[in-house]
Amino acid sequence: MARYEHLPIYKQAMDVAVHFEKVVAGFSRYHTYTLGTELRNKSREIVAQIIRANEERDKAPMLIALRGQLDELFILIHLAKEVQAFKRFSAYQ
């Protein structure tokens, strides 16, 4: 089993996942159960994908898939901003 805790990308992805766990708690009920759930799930999927990629010998296919997941997360973040789900602009940043 490859170690991953030391990877900067893992640390940053974990920070983002923790951030969404906290921020989504401030969403309205409607947004918490729709966009909030998707943001939380996608951020956790990204952390898991990083761990899986670190274990692979050929990391390229896993990293390409990770890039796709990051694009999906960015779309969700932008959508949440557009529907004003974030209470503060700093939460969006």
Does the residue 3 lie in any domain? Answer: no
Does the residue 55 lie in any domain? Answer: yes
Q: Looking at the 3D structure of the chain, how many domains does it have?
A: 1
Residue 76 belongs to domain with CATH number: 1.20.1440.60
Q: Which pLDDT tens digit goes with each residue over 21-59?
A: 999 998 998 898 999 999 999 999 999 999 999 999 999
Position 90 scores a pLDDT of 67
Q: What is the pTM of this model?
A: 0.87
Rg (CA), the chain: 14
The pLDDT-based confidence of 93 (bands split at 50, 70, 90) is low
Structural domain boundaries enclosing 61: 8-92
Position 38 scores a pLDDT of 96
The Cα 28–Cα 12 span in angstroms is 26
Does the residue 2 lie in any domain? Answer: no
What are the phi and psi torsion angles at 7 (to 5°)?
-70, 130
Does the residue 1 lie in any domain? Answer: no
The pLDDT-based confidence of 1 (bands split at 50, 70, 90) is low
